[in-house]
């Protein structure tokens, strides 16, 4: 099947793009890497009247360190994130997790902004951003909004983004020397969407402090395991009783079955992925 007819627009400036998005008479949809949108259009599950190609907007394509945070433009591709020395040094969680996103052909095109605007419940990037306490800067003709990642992902393919807004920048606190990061996902084959996965950040690990434990692939959107965090904070990473209590506390999360695994399977896999990501955390100290 091929996409329904659409009008193609490829603006050279952000202002032109925002102007088109602000036109309420146009059903306009941004195109970034196209790795999700093009298949959806070909299946006629997305039928925009106007396809707004963002790929010439160089003002959305940057990685920079500003003070104590890393700013990433929405159009930066996974492959560029993986190649960046700034990302390797300052956001080591990305270096752990990004090789698990799909395959290199898809990582060469797929963008950080496209992934978070899509908000697939099994995608890695939304969970990484919540674990890293990131914020998302949106732009529209009416101005700018800064939305904490904690508040951005609302449900299956549902975000706080308004129709006339673009994801512009993702702001992530740069890692400090005492911080640690862990990641683990359970998949049928490398590169598949996860049946259950988790991204973790910690201010320190002996004992654990300021843990952020965020699961993906198990529910409608990234879920912070606040009860497990509370149990583990202040405990040693060798405390197996605390680990067991934290695993038991994961029963309070929401589980939805999908084509990758049933809700029961997911509710068991979370125990394994938590334990393994905590082990990675000890190994991956910055």
Residues that bind ligand FAD (CB under 6 A): 29-37, 54, 74, 101-102, 106, 109-111, 113-115, 117-118, 120, 123-125, 161, 166-167, 193
CB 66 to ligand FAD: min, Å: 19
- Asked if residue 122 lies in contact with residue 193, where contact means CB atoms within 8 angstroms, the answer is yes
CB 209 to ligand FAD: min, Å: 29
Give whichever of 16 and 120 is closer to ligand FAD, judged by the CB atom.
120
Which pair of tokens denotes residue 168?
Answer: 């512009």
Q: Output phi, psi for 276, to 5 deg.
A: -70, -35
CB 91 to ligand FAD: min, Å: 16
CB 127 to ligand FAD: min, Å: 9
75: Cα within 13 Å, side-chain hemisphere: 15
| DSSP, residue by residue, 159-187 | ES--TT-EEEEEEEEPPPTT-EEEEEEE-
d(Cα 92, Cα 31) in Å, to the nearest integer? 28
CB 44 to ligand FAD: min, Å: 15
Give whichever of 40 and 226 is closer to ligand FAD, judged by the CB atom.
40
Q: Which of 170, 168, 163, 165 is nearest to 148 (CA)?
A: 170
Give whichever of 77 and 235 is closer to ligand FAD, judged by the CB atom.
77
d(Cα 130, Cα 173) in Å, to the nearest integer? 12
> b/e map of 91-129 (b: 16 or more CB within 10 Å)?
bbbbbbbbebbbeeebbebbbbbbbbbbbbbbbbbbbbb
Give whichever of 98 and 228 is closer to ligand FAD, judged by the CB atom.
98
CB 206 to ligand FAD: min, Å: 32
Q: Which of 161, 277, 285, 157 is nearest to 225 (CA)?
A: 277
Residue nearest to ligand FAD (CB): 114
| Contacts by 93-97, CB closer than 8 A, 24 or more apart | 93/128, 93/131, 93/132, 93/175, 93/181, 93/183, 93/199, 93/201, 94/128, 96/181, 96/182, 96/183, 96/280, 96/284, 97/124, 97/128, 97/183, 97/199
Give whichever of 29 and 179 is closer to ligand FAD, judged by the CB atom.
29
CB 140 to ligand FAD: min, Å: 10
Give whichever of 92 and 197 is closer to ligand FAD, judged by the CB atom.
197
Give whichever of 168 and 235 is closer to ligand FAD, judged by the CB atom.
168
Please tell me what DSSP assigns to residue 49: S
CB 75 to ligand FAD: min, Å: 7
Give whichever of 162 and 244 is closer to ligand FAD, judged by the CB atom.
162
Q: Output phi, psi for 128, to 5 deg.
A: -60, -45
């Amino acid at each position: 099947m091929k996409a329904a007819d659409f009008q193609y627009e490829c603006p050279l400036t952000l202002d032109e793009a925002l102007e088109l998005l602000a036109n309420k008479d146009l059903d306009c949809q941004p195109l970034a890497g196209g790795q999700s949108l093009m298949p959806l259009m070909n299946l006629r599950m997305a039928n925009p009247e106007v396809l707004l190609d963002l790929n010439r907007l160089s003002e959305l394509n940057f990685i920079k360190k500003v003070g104590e945070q890393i700013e990433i433009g929405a159009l930066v591709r996974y492959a560029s994130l993986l190649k960046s020395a700034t990302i390797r040094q300052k956001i080591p969680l990305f270096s752990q997790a990004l090789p698990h996103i799909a395959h290199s052909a898809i990582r060469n095109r797929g963008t950080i902004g496209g992934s978070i605007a899509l908000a697939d419940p099994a995608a890695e990037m939304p969970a990484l951003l919540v674990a890293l306490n990131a914020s998302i800067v949106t732009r529209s003709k009416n101005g700018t909004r800064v939305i904490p990642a904690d508040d951005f992902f609302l449900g299956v393919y549902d975000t706080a983004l308004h129709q006339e807004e673009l994801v512009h920048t993702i702001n992530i606190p740069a890692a400090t020397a005492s911080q640690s990061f862990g990641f683990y996902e359970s998949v049928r084959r490398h590169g598949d969407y996860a049946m259950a996965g988790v991204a973790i950040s910690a201010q320190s690990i002996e004992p654990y402090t300021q843990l952020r434990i965020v699961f993906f692939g198990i529910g409608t959107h990234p879920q912070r395991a606040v009860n497990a965090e509370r149990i583990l904070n202040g405990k040693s990473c060798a405390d197996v009783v605390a680990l067991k209590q934290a695993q038991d506390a994961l029963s309070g999360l929401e589980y939805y079955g999908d084509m990758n695994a049933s809700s029961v399977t997911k509710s068991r896999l979370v125990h394994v992925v938590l334990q393994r990501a905590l082990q990675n955390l000890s190994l991956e100290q910055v």
